[in-house]
Structure 1
Amino acid sequence: MMRTILSVVGAATLLTAAPLAAEPWKLDKDHVHVTFTVDNIGFSTTQGQFRDFDAEIDFDPENIEAASVTFTLKSDSVDTNSKSRDNHVKSKEFLDVKNFPEIVFRSTKVRLVDDRTAEITGEMSMKGVTQEEVFTAHLVRIGPSPFNAEDTIAGFYVEGELDRTDYGVSYGVPAIGAKVPIRIDIQMNPES
């Protein structure tokens, strides 16, 4: 279905001998959320988010596997709805935001799984450690804005899970969960 929907957007590319390269897209930051959860001593789940982030995205709806992304989080923008907990998460025992102000994911490969799903492999750098991670991107919708048909919008949600101990963030394990599920809800538009 994704290819059928997207063929309308990229029909012109079918007439050319060479495929078009992925082009820059920009985040609509008013409609992007970066959230995570952590098990709290087996009694509850702590939910959090990062409020300051940016991304460089190259995307071709007709050639998903040519896409690339660099997603950057400002580590001191972590928000778990508790000032004292946030200060602890920002400390050396967790993110050490003074020495490591950014968490960065750089894609190295995108593999189309089916018409609405892609697997994104890349390098995650956090707290001075870089590890390969794999995230799954799910297409919500791509098409013209209902408010302006000349504006194209793409919506995705991206899911994955990190083991924070891989990055030297082992405070409280196992009482505080090592596995951290992540979800990023993304809305983006072509830059041009």
Structure 2
Amino acid sequence: MKPTLLAAALAITASAAFAEPETYALDPSHSQVVFSYNHLGFSTTYGMFSGFGGEIAFDAEDPANSSVNVSMPITSMLTGWEERFAHFMSPDFFGAADGDMVTFVSTGIDVTGDKTANITGDLTMNGVTKPVVLATELTQAAPHPMNGKASLGFDATATVLRSDFNVGKYAPNVSDEVEIVISLEASKTE
């Protein structure tokens, strides 16, 4: 191989090996966080966050080098019942005001399969930050059929103790464990 061709091949290999993660913005119209908990042993109650923002820095060559940063206003919680929402926003639980946020910032990614990973991160809610692990699956990485942009889809699950975040009123009668199911779409930023 000629020296110039070898140098070009090495330069291409080196730039591919050190490629930076690409930034994807969450699609607020197709990203949801659904939570559920047991109510006094009688029923499972559900709530949701939707319309929130965030970014995924995705490294397709080395997914462990990726990161996630998501935030949502606590007052954007949907409970399906106005009185429940008012109670959750009261001092009994969040004592929330406009501008109070729930955030998740990844601190590490453990790739567990071709399309799966455990994403560890700091969940901050109600003034408390605790580590949480999201069992995550990449559901799709492809051009979006509606706009042609490179896009990603992810599903994830986790379980948290609400008492860890100072919203444990009525526990354990109302379950302390909250199951979380997340589904996100994100498109590559320009």
- Map of 1:9 onto structure 2: none
Counterparts of 1:146 and 1:99 in 2: how far apart (Å)? 36
What is the SS of the residue equivalent to 2:37? strand
Distance 1:172 1:100, change over 3 A: farther
Aligned partner of 1:123 in structure 2 is 122
The equivalent residue for 1:6 is none
CA RMSD of aligned residues (A): 1.8
Paired with 1:146 and 1:76, the residues of 2 have a C-alpha distance of 33
Name the residue aligned to 2:7.
none
Provide the residue aligned with 1:94 in structure 2: 93
What runs of 5+ residues in structure 2 fail to find an aligned partner? 1-11
Q: Percent identity?
A: 32
- Between the aligned partners of 1:121 and 1:167, the Cα distance in structure 2 is 17
Give the aligned residue type for 1:191. T
Looking at CA atoms only, which structure, 1 or 2, has the larger radius of gyration?
2
Q: Which amino acid in the other structure matches residue 130 of structure 1?
A: T
Answer yes or no: is the 8 Å Cα contact 1:38–1:176 preserved in 2. Answer: yes
| 2:163 matched residue in structure 1 | 165
Relative distance call for 1:56 and 1:144 in structure 2 (3 A) is closer
SS of 1:71's equivalent in the other structure is strand
Residue in structure 2 matched with residue 78 of structure 1 by the alignment: 77
Gaps of at least 5 residues in structure 1 are 1-14
Alignment-mate amino acid for residue 20 of structure 1: A
1:16 aligns with 2:13: yes
Q: How does 1:132-143 map to 2 (within 5 A)?
A: 132-143=131-142
Deviation at 1:147, TM superposition (A): 4.2
Q: Write out per-residue CA displacement over residues 3-59 of structure 1, whole angstroms, 9 at most, x where no aligned residue.
A: xxxxxxxxxxxx421321112111111111111001111000001001342112211
- What is the distance in 1 between the residues matched to 2:88 and 2:70? 20
Counterparts of 2:84 and 2:96, CA distance in 1 = 14
The letter of the residue matching 1:92 is: P
On the 8 A contact 1:106/1:124 being kept in 2, the answer is: yes
Q: Are 1:108 and 2:120 an aligned pair? A: no
TM-score, scaled relative to structure 1: 0.87
Moved over 3 A (4+): none
| Aligned equivalent of 2:182 | 184
Identify which range, 123-132 or 95-104, moves more after superposition. 95-104
Give the secondary-structure state (helix, strand or coil) at the position aligned to 1:114.
coil
